[in-house]
Amino acid sequence: MFFPLRGVWRPRGEPHLLTHAGVVGALILFSGCTVGPDYVRPATVAPEAYKEMSGWKVAEPRAEIARGAWWEIYDDPQLNTLEDQVNISNQDIAVAEAQFREARALVQAARAGYFPTAATGVAYTHSRGSANVGPARSPAETISDYLLSGNVSWELDLWGRIRRTVESSRASAQASAADLEGIRLSAQAELAQDYFQLCALDAQKELLQQTVAAYERLLVLTKNRYARGVASRADVLQAETQLKSTQAQALDLGVQRAQLEHAVAVLVGKPPSVFAIPVTPLAKTPPPVPVAVPSELLERRPDIAAAERRVAAANAQIGVAVAAFYPTVTLSGLGGFQSSHRDNWLIWPSRVWAVGGALSETVFDGGLRRAQTDQAWAAYEATVASYRGTVLTGFQEVEDNLAALRILEEEARVQDEAVQAAQQSVTVSTNQYKAGIVDHLALLVVETIALNNERTAIDIRGRRMTACVLLIKALGGGWKLSDLPSTDS
């Protein structure tokens, strides 16, 4: 919209009106103010130290977790290969990456508001007027109109509406980038957990297969003793029952292993039918994990960074809402050639131009702008609460897994002692059984206790590895806030 001011020919040495308008517009633009609150990161409560760090073994040397490849801390080539495939083929990561590109494009779209909008066009009309319209009626006339024009429109950002929109879009794009890294970290951590659980099942199956072999030898011994009349038929049946039950337990592990293998296949972007993980019994214990002071957690978790960036985006939207209370100023210009005859259309005397400006202000909207401002403030306060909640959850997850690792380490030590005692008991009871001092039922009880204790020890080992993975994830997996795209990107 513009106020047309048609001009006449001016000498080349005299400034054009469009030049005046451009200079004035630039001065107004740079002298404008930005309304709305400037962003300040919300305060959060960070403890001086983790409660569960008491007695924690600090990693030596004090190196940080590998940036982008934290799983290498486990020194497992097969895990390294699988994690590399997650970065390439995981579909959740692909979705998040596309969403980040979408958010980045929205930043460019918002920036376009800084610049004028220019358009050009060609029009031709052939019309006949009514002879019965107008004060002096005359015979109807048929006329043609040829028009080649270009127009420019520029909204001056006097109150910072466009600047706040760009600020909000930038913060949203950074939040999307942090979301991408959060999803990547979650997929990587989930794969590591599934992998170590699968390895723990392989270790249990290996134990059960060794136990089945021992039970088969015991069954042969019992049958021989029965043949000599030393053992009863009940002893043979008990030995057979013990053997078959253990074989069934070994087979049952196949269900869980297959499901974990299928889950890993999906994480690396492959159909389960064409994917397999070799049998890999778990023999590792958790490596030392470097744990920084709690205040650094705000810089290391992508979900916290995403929540904080959303607060910044919501803060900028308050400025956009406040800017609606102020007038809008638009500069416009039009130029081109117009004629009723094609032969003299594109000649200098056929030129037309107009420049102008418009100022508009809403004087009554039924409370719409006030409601939109209140909405923007409420949305901001909601993101602040969400940010602080995310920070608290981050501290909780670190404490949870520090406690889990500490307690499970102690439990593993006690359980290993129980396994050693149970194995010694089996050795003693087996010799007594061979010597006829105890019956088969007593030996069966001791062997069952030993097997259960050994399976429990393997289960604890797997839980320790899972807790270690979750601790690294809770610490941000080696990610840092500096990994976010800059505000200029």
Which pLDDT score is estimated for 231?
87
User: What pLDDT sits at residue 313?
Assistant: 97
Give the per-residue pLDDT at 141: 75
Alpha-carbon distance of 157 to 329, in angstroms, equals 8
| Spatial separation of the C-alpha atoms in residues 281 and 202, rounded to whole Å | 5
Q: What is the DSSP string of 377-445?
A: HHHHHHHHHHHHHHHHHHHHHHHHHHHHHHHHHHHHHHHHHHHHHHHHHHHHHHHHHHTTSS-HHHHHH
pLDDT of 32 reads 58
- How do residues 211-220 score in pLDDT, each as one tens digit? 999 999 999 9
What is the SS3 assignment for 147?
strand
With CA atoms as reference, report the closest residue to 168 among 317, 298, 333. 317
Structural class in CATH, domain 1-8+20-37+119-129+141-156+328-360: mainly beta
Between CA 472 and CA 463 the distance in angstroms is 14
| pLDDT value for 293 | 83
Dist. CA 456–CA 451, nearest whole Å:
9
- The residue ranges of the chain whose pLDDT is under 50 are 1-21, 23-27, 29-31, 60-63
Under a CB-based contact definition with an 8 Å cutoff, are residues 458 and 203 in contact? Answer: yes
pLDDT confidence of residue 137:
54
Q: Which amino acid is at 475?
A: L
Domains in the chain: boundaries: 1-8+20-37+119-129+141-156+328-360, 42-114+160-326+368-483
pLDDT of residue 55: 58
Residues in the chain: 489
**Superfamily covering domain 42-114+160-326+368-483:** Outer membrane efflux proteins (OEP) (1.20.1600.10)
Spacing of C-alpha 439 from chain mean position = 61
DSSP code, position 228? T
pLDDT of residue 128: 82
Tokens (6 digits) for 312: 């910044």
Number of other residues whose CB lies within 10 A of the CB of residue 169: 21
